[in-house]
Amino acid sequence: MPRKWILAALLLAPAAPAAAYELPSSTGTHHVSFDADEAGFNEYTRVINLKGDVKLQEFSPEGKELKLIRARELAVNMASRTVTAPGDFVMDDDSGTVYGKSGFYDYGSDSGFVRDGSFQYQGFIFKGRSVSFGPDGYVYKKASLTSCDREPPHYHLSSSRIYLAPGRYFLAYNNVFYLGRIPILYLPVVYKPMGRITPFVTILRPGYDQRNGAFIKSTFLYRAGPLTRAKLFLDYFSRRGLGTGGELDYRKPEKDITDISLYRIREYGMSKDRWGANGGYWHLFNRFNESDPAQYYSQGYFRLLSDPKVNNDFFRSNPFAVSPDEQASVAVTRKTNYTITHLSASGTETKNADSTAFQKGASAIPRLDFNTVPFKVLKLPVLNTFSAYAEDARDSTTTYTQQRGDMNWTMTQSVRLGRRFSLTPSAFYDQSVAVSTDSAERVDWVGRYGGGATLRYDRLWGSLDLGYAYKRRLLANRLQDDSGAPDKGQEASSLLSQLFVIPAPNSYWKVSTSYDVRTFYTAGFNRRLQPITAELYYSPRPNLDIFATETYSVYSGTRSFVAQANYGNSVNYVGGGIANYSTDGRSWVISHTFGFRPRASSSWRLEGVLRYRLLLDGGLNFGGISFFEKAVTLYKDFHDFHTKLDFRERSGGVKEIFFYVNLKMNAPVPQDNLEEKSREYWHPWRKEGEERDL
């Protein structure tokens, strides 16, 4: 049968009865056109039956294509303004592509129904046993959702109902997450904004560790706008119970930087919650009045815990979080072109002897600091600086609070002595006061004075500094030298030296020491010569760094030695380090790290960490090796999700294995400035993509 082509303009207003079929004008009207192998029109029912290779297009009054429907068979009812597809069809519009086994479309109300429908949108595939749609979006019943285009998909969400508003969000109820055909996790609600500025990310971490048992850690991340991001933590531990928490990031450039993290869990059989909270902020205030050019800002930080062990039990990715101490501080600062005034309060608490509770540590509540920038007085050729503080303080070794303060005035000036020589002399006076609030109150004013000079020799290869520093103490509440004290009031009298050499742009080495010349000191040369510190850095190529530093005492031997070498890039690398300290001279701490990806295009890579303590009985006799951290991590990228398998064993009873899944549908935006700044200010230990720690 020869191909037939018919153009019809279907007006949105109800069609008037007509004795004969007439085609209205299509100019400037909302209309459809169709192309089919066969077409038949019933003028009594006003139905156009189309068969064969059917293509139906809907146009706006301006001539823009709104929808395109393709099928083997369509029925267009001009009276009810509907299009019925009794068999398979495909419908395209600006939001995406809909596939269905059958359905109908009301072009007057822009609504319809699809049986066994499938919709592709922004990399997602929505399916439903029945799908209804209208101007506000789609409703899927007995639905599924995935971003995997394989059949069957590697993973999917099976949902009772999904609401999809293209360009805005989707909301799914009563969901079960499947890997292949295996059900993994039940999620009552899944919500994802579809705009580019507000991605919603879900991260699942199933795993196991020796203390907590099998677990599932889930992170739900919501970007509320360009300045704000919120996270919700929902965890289940088979041996411990349900844990919940959250994190809030807010950043307004040059105005506010805030981060707050909270977490709590009530373990099985316990009557009290275990919890952790940390965070901080920096906020710049507006000017208090137009005549005041100063800047005012406030900043604070806190890390609070229910008990010293909670971080090591639940948050191990943060090398600082496993520390058992609590601390908090808050401050307000006034800054001008000449002065900085700082009002603050801070305190710490440390674990008790059996690590079950906290005890008071150092605190300063309040403390006032004042500092100046260098300034001149009466046009004299010296620079002056003044600093002072006052505080109500308690040291970690005392049981009482002490009021104390200090003022320091320093004068200095650098003088060129020639092309390569410069001399920088300085002098200072320091006045401190301490008010003891122990059993008997006592006020002590103690003055100190001193100065020094540094002679520098500069060359292209580096510099040599030779100097002298002197500090003398006065009697309490008197302007006389404290000559009767065991140290004769001589707190410092030292010759100083430092050699800094840069033989090439990719290396340097530095050596420094001092020699004690106090007259009351009767020790010999070996005791007077202070520990020598040497430091070496060498990078013979861009992917190789070598660093070593040693502090050595002629009298007592090595005080500390640290060396580290790294080779490679962020993916393929190997590193090694060694450290030894005089506090435990027989113990050497050794660490190895490595990363490996066989090819740049490989979908997997490995990372490993091995840290251990080596005891030497003398010479090369090994007394024992104790491993305090062993870990290996496997990363594997699939076409629709990323995985991470982590095995870890560490001191403190940490033995765990966990499996991390980041779905393609949940991948965060490639450049997330808010995430980068959060890591920079509050979580510098976090690796890119890590979303959990306190």
- Which residue type, as a one-letter code, is found at position 538? Y
* Strand positions, DSSP E, 111-212: 111-121, 124-134, 137-146, 155-165, 169-179, 182-193, 200-209
Whole-angstrom CA distances from 103 to 82, 99, 108, 114, 129 are 10, 10, 16, 4, 12
Contact 551, 557 (CB under 8 A): no
- The pLDDT of residue 545: 96
pLDDT for 20-74, tens place per residue?
333 444 445 667 788 888 888 887 888 888 888 888 888 877 778 888 889 899 8
**Structure-token match 């949902």, residue found:** 159
Q: Residues 245-254: what's their mean pLDDT?
A: 90
Q: What are phi and psi of 311, to 5 degrees?
A: -65, -40
- The pLDDT of residue 248: 92
- The pLDDT of residue 150: 81
Q: Residues 656-669: what's their mean pLDDT?
A: 65
- The pLDDT of residue 16: 34
Whether the per-residue pLDDT at 225 is higher than 80: the answer is no
Reduced to 3 states (helix: H, G, I; strand: E, B; else coil), residue 61 is coil
Task: Please tell me the distance from the alpha carbon of residue 24 to that of residue 64, in angstroms, as a whole number.
Answer: 19
What's the pLDDT band for 12 if we cut at 50, 70, 90? very low
- Which residue type, as a one-letter code, is found at position 57? Q
Q: Answer with the residue of higher pLDDT: 324 or 176.
A: 176
- The pLDDT of residue 24: 46
Contact 295, 335 (CB under 8 A): yes
Reduced to 3 states (helix: H, G, I; strand: E, B; else coil), residue 244 is strand
- The pLDDT of residue 220: 81
CA dihedral 393, 396, 400, 401 (to 10 degrees): 0
What DSSP letter does each residue of 285-301 carry, written as one string?
EPPSSTT---EEEEEEE
> CB-side exposure of 187: number of CA atoms within 13 Å?
28
Burial code (b: 16+ CB inside 10 Å, e: under 16) for 464-479 equals ebebbbbbbbbbeeee
Task: Please tell me the distance from the alpha carbon of residue 129 to that of residue 141, in angstroms, as a whole number.
Answer: 6
What's the pLDDT band for 456 if we cut at 50, 70, 90? very high
**Judging by DSSP bridges, how do beta strands 200-209 and 241-252 pair with one another?**
unpaired
- The pLDDT of residue 317: 60
Q: Among the listed ranges 234-243, 265-274, 647-656, which one has the minimum average pLDDT value?
A: 647-656
Whole-angstrom CA distances from 52 to 3, 43, 101, 337 are 9, 21, 16, 82
- The pLDDT of residue 513: 97
Rg (CA), the chain: 37
- The pLDDT of residue 20: 34
Task: Please tell me the distance from the alpha carbon of residue 54 to that of residue 106, in angstroms, as a whole number.
Answer: 18
pTM: 0.70
Q: Residues 256-261: what's their mean pLDDT?
A: 92
What's the pLDDT band for 14 if we cut at 50, 70, 90? very low
- The pLDDT of residue 10: 37
Range 4-16+25-188: architecture per CATH = Sandwich (2.60)
- Secondary structure, 3-state, 114-138: EEEEEEEECCEEEEEEEEEEECCEE
pLDDT for 360-370, tens place per residue?
888 999 999 99
Q: Answer with the residue of higher pLDDT: 511 or 218.
A: 511
In 3D space, the residue among 65, 56, 59, 52 whose CA is nearest the CA of residue 31 turns out to be 59
- The pLDDT of residue 437: 67
Helix ranges (H only) for 285-350 are 310-314
What's the pLDDT band for 576 if we cut at 50, 70, 90? very high
Task: Please tell me the distance from the alpha carbon of residue 639 to that of residue 663, in angstroms, as a whole number.
Answer: 10
Whether the per-residue pLDDT at 516 is higher than 90: the answer is yes
pLDDT for 431-455, tens place per residue?
999 887 665 578 889 999 999 999 9
Contact 102, 83 (CB under 8 A): no
As a whole number of angstroms, the longest Cα–Cα distance in the chain is 128
Task: Please tell me the distance from the alpha carbon of residue 173 to that of residue 160, in angstroms, as a whole number.
Answer: 6
What's the pLDDT band for 9 if we cut at 50, 70, 90? very low
pLDDT for 89-135, tens place per residue?
998 887 778 899 998 888 778 888 999 989 888 778 899 999 998 88
Q: Residues 580-588: what's their mean pLDDT?
A: 88
Distance of CA 141 to the CA centre of its chain: 38
- The pLDDT of residue 448: 97
pLDDT for 283-314, tens place per residue?
999 766 677 788 999 999 998 888 888 877 77
Do you find a cis peptide bond into 193, omega within 30 degrees of 0?
no
End-to-end Cα spacing for the chain: 74
Q: Work out the mean pLDDT of the chain and round it to a whole number.
A: 84
pLDDT for 171-223, tens place per residue?
899 988 887 888 877 878 887 767 655 456 777 777 777 788 888 888 887 77
What's the pLDDT band for 19 if we cut at 50, 70, 90? very low
- Spell out the residues 6+ positions from residue 27 whose beta carbon is closer than 8 angstroms to its own: none
